[in-house]
């Protein structure tokens, strides 16, 4: 934002939106990381906390949506201002979904807490979660700077998360084939892995929204994809 | 299956836009009021059957440019216009041009409704009469009725055509002025902030009218309301301190303009 509005209250409204988005980002980031930590350490108390934090994001998304609508009605925003407000609505929706995915992971902690999980699997999940968290953290920094170049950089890194997810998917299948008693915990872990992978997707969505907010153009080219699990053959050979 | 990508669609629309014939061409247009220069080498074309909106802060030259298009500036002492302005490839500042005839082809609607202190009928009939467009009373009746129809006013006034035009509401008066402009079958209609003295409902009526008139006329509108420019026009030109800063498709102009000054102006920011 190069200059201020002649009507200063308008600036305040836009600042409110970006402040609330940053707050939501902080909560979503923490929930996503805590959910995986709870899973790895079988920490049901932490999992419970993640679940009970989810309404914070639901409420924040609702408030951002309402403020955005009132601002559009009052100010009839144009150009970058309009993109800023529409972008806020979209980013708030993505962050709210990130919270939901964290909450879903946390719920599964309670389900798998009494089965012993192979350490290698939880380590794989941790790695996936670190990548997604880094992605999310970075996209929130880019939101503060509104840099289209950096937003594009994040978009290109989603590929790495997809690749790790695919590897984890194969590993979990192997465990399930080895011993049917693994199926229940491994299925939960598979959903957790998918949740984390989806968080990476939402971070990428946010990066694309930021690119649009800053430039008025959609990022060019297909989003890089390396999630090949949709075509994996699961028959034992 | 045919898949039209957004860019292909955009290109097709652009191509269509770019092949729209130019009704008026402005080339290196400068205007001086005495020693003061009000316009600096403006190059702006007006496309046929298109609504072109001129926007910009007060004193930016948008009304000055509009008034060049039918030589209204001739009426101002010390005003000098240089450069070239054509209507259908004919120089309108050529000495052979009959200014009265030019103003019949390029009509104008002003900021404040200014009906003549005559009946509604006479307000509309005045132009056709001095231009000799009707030979009989019934021909004139025809012109008056169809002009009022085109201005979306006929149904509201058909039973009181002989009452004074000044007795109508502001919005009706403005539509009466539009009917008056339309009555002489102009090719281009210039509008200088036609809605700034009207309430929102009357404004909406005039905007709807502009939308309908576009099928048969070429329209250039000066407006202070960005939202209005965004609503009614297909092309928008932004003026700033006597310069044409940017001319673009309206949709592009109000979502992602190229020039920083346009951006600041339409978003209501300090430059």
Distance CA A5, CA A170 (A): 54
- In this predicted structure, what is the pLDDT of residue A193? 95
Q: Tokens 């790695």 belong to which residue?
A: A127
Distance CA B173, CA B63 (A): 21
Give buried/exposed letters for A115-131 (b at 16+ CB in 10 A, else e).
eebeeebbebbeebbeb
In terms of DSSP bridges, do strands B36-47 and B188-192 run parallel, antiparallel, or are they unpaired? Answer: unpaired
Closest residue by Cα to residue B119 from B155, B159, B162: B162
Does residue A113 register a pLDDT over 60? yes
Whether A65 is in a domain gets the answer yes
Distance CA A214, CA A79 (A): 10
- Chain A's closest residue to B259, CA to CA, is A79
Burial class (CB in 10 A: 0-12, 13-18, 19+), B162: exposed
> Taking residues B4-9, what's their average pLDDT?
56
Cβ-Cβ contacts under 8 Å, B251 against chain A? none
Does residue A221 register a pLDDT over 80? no
- In this predicted structure, what is the pLDDT of residue B3? 46
CA B231 to chain A, closest CA, distance in angstroms equals 12
Does residue A230 register a pLDDT over 90? no
Does residue A231 register a pLDDT over 90? no
> Taking residues B14-20, what's their average pLDDT?
67
Whether A170 is in a domain gets the answer yes
- In this predicted structure, what is the pLDDT of residue B2? 43
Closest residue by Cα to residue A186 from A55, A39, A77: A39
> Taking residues A187-216, what's their average pLDDT?
95
CA B171 to chain A, closest CA, distance in angstroms equals 24
Q: Do residues A188 and A121 make contact, with C-beta atoms less than 8 angstroms apart?
A: no
- A19-32 tens-digit pLDDT: 999 999 999 999 99
The model carries a pTM of 0.81
Cβ-Cβ contacts under 8 Å, A83 against chain B? 255-256
Does residue B255 register a pLDDT over 80? yes
> Taking residues B240-261, what's their average pLDDT?
94
B260·A2 Cβ contact <8 A? yes
Distance CA A125, CA A165 (A): 8
Give buried/exposed letters for A63-94 (b at 16+ CB in 10 A, else e).
ebeebbeebeeebebbbbbbbbbbbbbbbbbb
Interface of A with B in 33-62 (CB under 8 A): none
* Chain B residue set in contact with A, beta carbons under 8 Å: 226-227, 230, 254-257, 260, 263-264, 266-271
- In this predicted structure, what is the pLDDT of residue A234? 57
Q: Do residues A172 and A193 make contact, with C-beta atoms less than 8 angstroms apart?
A: yes
Confidence of residue B11 (pLDDT cuts 50, 70, 90): low
Q: What is the mean pLDDT of chain B?
A: 91
- Chain B's closest residue to A4, CA to CA, is B269
Whether A85 is in a domain gets the answer yes
Burial class (CB in 10 A: 0-12, 13-18, 19+), A218: exposed
A7 contact B CB<8A:
yes
Question: Of A1-15, A49-63, A79-93, B144-158, where does mean pLDDT reach its minimum?
Answer: A1-15
DSSP conformation class of B269: B
Does residue B270 register a pLDDT over 90? no
Q: How many domains does chain A have?
A: 1
Q: Tokens 């993505």 belong to which residue?
A: A94
- The CATH number of the domain holding residue A174 is 1.20.58.220
Whether A1 is in a domain gets the answer no
Closest residue by Cα to residue B137 from B150, B151, B121, B149: B121
- Chain B's closest residue to A215, CA to CA, is B256
Question: B168 is written with which tokens?
Answer: 């109508």
Mutation choice for B interface testing from A78, A80, A212 by most B CBs within 10 A:
A78
- In this predicted structure, what is the pLDDT of residue B160? 95
Whether A3 is in a domain gets the answer no
Which helix (H) or strand (E) segment is B108 a member of? strand B106-109
Whether A79 is in a domain gets the answer yes
Interface of A with B in 67-126 (CB under 8 A): 75-83
Closest residue by Cα to residue A27 from A125, A94, A96, A127: A96
Domain that holds residue A124: 8-234
- B118-172 tens-digit pLDDT: 999 999 999 999 999 999 999 999 999 999 998 889 999 999 999 999 999 999 9
Whether A40 is in a domain gets the answer yes
Closest residue by Cα to residue B87 from B27, B128, B153, B11: B27
Residue B109 pairs in a beta bridge with B191
Q: Tokens 């609330």 belong to which residue?
A: A20
Mutation choice for A interface testing from B231, B249, B251, B268 by most A CBs within 10 A:
B268
B268·A5 Cβ contact <8 A? yes
Closest residue by Cα to residue A16 from A57, A8, A96: A8
- B220-242 tens-digit pLDDT: 999 999 899 999 999 999 999 99
Whether A154 is in a domain gets the answer yes
CA B88 to chain A, closest CA, distance in angstroms equals 34
């Amino acid at each position: 934002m190069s200059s201020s509005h002649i009507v200063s209250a308008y600036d305040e409204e836009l600042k409110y939106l970006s402040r609330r988005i940053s707050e939501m980002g902080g909560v979503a980031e923490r929930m996503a990381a805590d959910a995986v930590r709870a899973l790895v350490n079988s920490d049901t108390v932490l999992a419970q906390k993640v679940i009970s934090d989810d309404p914070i994001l639901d409420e924040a998304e609702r408030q951002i949506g309402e403020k955005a609508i009132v601002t559009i009605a009052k100010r009839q925003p144009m150009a970058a201002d309009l993109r800023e407000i529409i972008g806020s609505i979209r980013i708030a929706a993505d962050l709210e979904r990130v919270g939901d995915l964290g909450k879903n992971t946390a719920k599964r902690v309670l389900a798998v807490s009494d089965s012993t999980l192979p350490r290698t699997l939880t380590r794989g999940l941790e790695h996936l979660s670190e990548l997604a968290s880094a992605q999310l953290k970075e996209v929130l920094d880019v939101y503060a700077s509104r840099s289209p170049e950096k937003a594009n950089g994040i978009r290109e890194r989603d590929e790495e998360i997809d690749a790790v997810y695919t590897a984890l998917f194969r590993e979990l299948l192997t465990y399930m084939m080895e011993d049917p008693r693994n199926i229940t915990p491994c299925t939960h872990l598979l959903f957790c892995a998918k949740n984390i992978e989806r968080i990476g997707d939402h971070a990428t969505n946010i990066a694309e929204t930021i690119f649009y907010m800053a430039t008025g153009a959609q990022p060019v080219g297909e989003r890089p994809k390396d999630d090949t699990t949709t075509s994996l053959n699961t028959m034992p050979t | 299956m045919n898949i039209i990508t957004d860019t292909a669609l955009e290109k097709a629309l652009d191509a269509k836009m770019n092949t729209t014939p130019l009704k008026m061409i402005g080339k290196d247009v400068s205007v001086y009021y005495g020693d003061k220069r009000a316009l600096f080498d403006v190059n702006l074309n007006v496309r046929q059957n298109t609504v072109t909106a001129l926007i910009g802060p007060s004193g930016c030259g948008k009304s000055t440019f509009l008034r060049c298009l039918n030589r209204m500036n001739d009426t101002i002492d010390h005003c000098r216009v240089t450069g070239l302005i054509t209507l259908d490839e004919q120089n309108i500042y050529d000495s052979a041009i009959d200014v009265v005839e030019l103003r019949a082809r390029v009509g104008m609607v002003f900021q404040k409704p200014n009906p003549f202190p005559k009946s509604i009928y006479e307000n509309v009939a005045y132009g056709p009469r001095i231009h000799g467009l009707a030979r009989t009373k019934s021909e004139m009746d025809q012109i008056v009725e169809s002009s009022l129809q085109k201005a979306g006013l006929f149904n509201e006034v058909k039973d009181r055509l002989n009452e004074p035009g000044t007795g109508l509401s502001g919005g009706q008066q403005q539509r009466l002025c539009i009917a008056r402009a339309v009555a002489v079958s102009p090719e281009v209609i210039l509008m200088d902030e036609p809605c700034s003295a009207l309430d929102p409902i009357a404004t909406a009526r005039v905007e709807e009218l502009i939308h309908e008139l576009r099928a048969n006329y070429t329209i250039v509108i000066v407006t202070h309301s960005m939202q209005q420019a965004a609503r009614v026009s297909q092309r928008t030109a932004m003026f700033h301190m006597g310069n044409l800063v940017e001319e673009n498709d309206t949709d592009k102009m109000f979502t992602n303009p190229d020039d920083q000054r346009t951006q600041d102006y339409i978003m209501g920011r300090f430059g």
